[in-house]
Amino acid sequence: MTLLQVVERALEEDIGTGDVTTNLCVPADRNASGRFVVREQVIVAGVEVLPLLYDDIDLGAPSGSCLENGQEIASVRGPARQLLKLERVALNFLQHLSGIATQARKYVDAVAGTSCRILDTRKTIPGLRELEKMAVRAGGATNHRMGLFDAVLIKNNHITAAGGVRAALDATKNVGLPVQIEVRTRAELEEALAGGATKLLLDNLSPAEAKDWIRYIAGRATVELSGGITLDSVRAYAEAGPDFISVGALTHSVRAVDIHFQLELA
């Protein structure tokens, strides 16, 4: 689904057969302007959707900008009815996506000075993955795979279904895609390394356990940590020495930030 299709679907969902309140209350010939203003410190994301909604627009802050309370993201002009009709769809995108970017920046800042990078996951709202991953990038974090099609990630259930670590790895040789494997025990770790694994996912370890396992791996494979890692604990995990930490909370449970649309008559 393209970005335009996502926006069109959102408009169809909200407006339906028409904005009855606006059409009843607002004269058709009345013009207005509007400003999108933040009401807290945010990392802006989702600005890319605004030109798909508005014909007459000035963008004041690109995605990735850090804005303080009272600063403006963009201003728009047009028929008052049109601006009111589009208000909620525009705010839904900006508030949700800026929430993701703001959360991502907090995690990135928390691991600053280490060699670890923060990754997102596939725990996204169906239909919004491309936008949410754009927001993750706006916050300074890194995208993991987009879907099931662009990289191999062998997880515990794949290992079980394949008949073991070695069988799963052997089945993915020469696939032409990045191959990563999750290991749950030291025995699986040793088997994965012996089988030529170059990308490892270590799940649900404590920071001390992660440090011990990473010391044992000794650079033979890149290491990603995941599983219940929070903003409070991410620094300790980063200092254990992984290459990556993946955080589902960047997208699956983020708080929408406070952004306001201020309408003024022309």
Catalytic residues: 88, 123, 155, 182, 203
Identify the CA nearest to 94 among candidates 47, 133, 38, 146. 47
> Residues 188, 165: contact at Cβ < 8 Å?
yes
d(CA 134, CA 144): 12
CB 181 within 8 A of CB 197: yes
DSSP at 142: B
Dihedral angle of Cα 90, 93, 94, 98, to the nearest 10 degrees: 180
Q: Which residues contact 127 (CB under 8 A, 6 or more apart)?
A: 1, 6, 9
CA dihedral 58, 63, 69, 72 (to 10 degrees): 0
Long-range CB pairs of 201-206, under 8 A, 24+ apart, other chains included = 201/153, 201/155, 201/225, 201/226, 201/246, 202/226, 202/242, 203/227, 204/228
Distance CA 200, CA 131 (A): 27
Q: Is residue 23 within 8 Å of residue 30, measured between CB atoms?
A: no
The first and second tokens of residue 128, run together, are 């919004």
The CA-based angle 93-97-103, given to 5 degrees, is 155
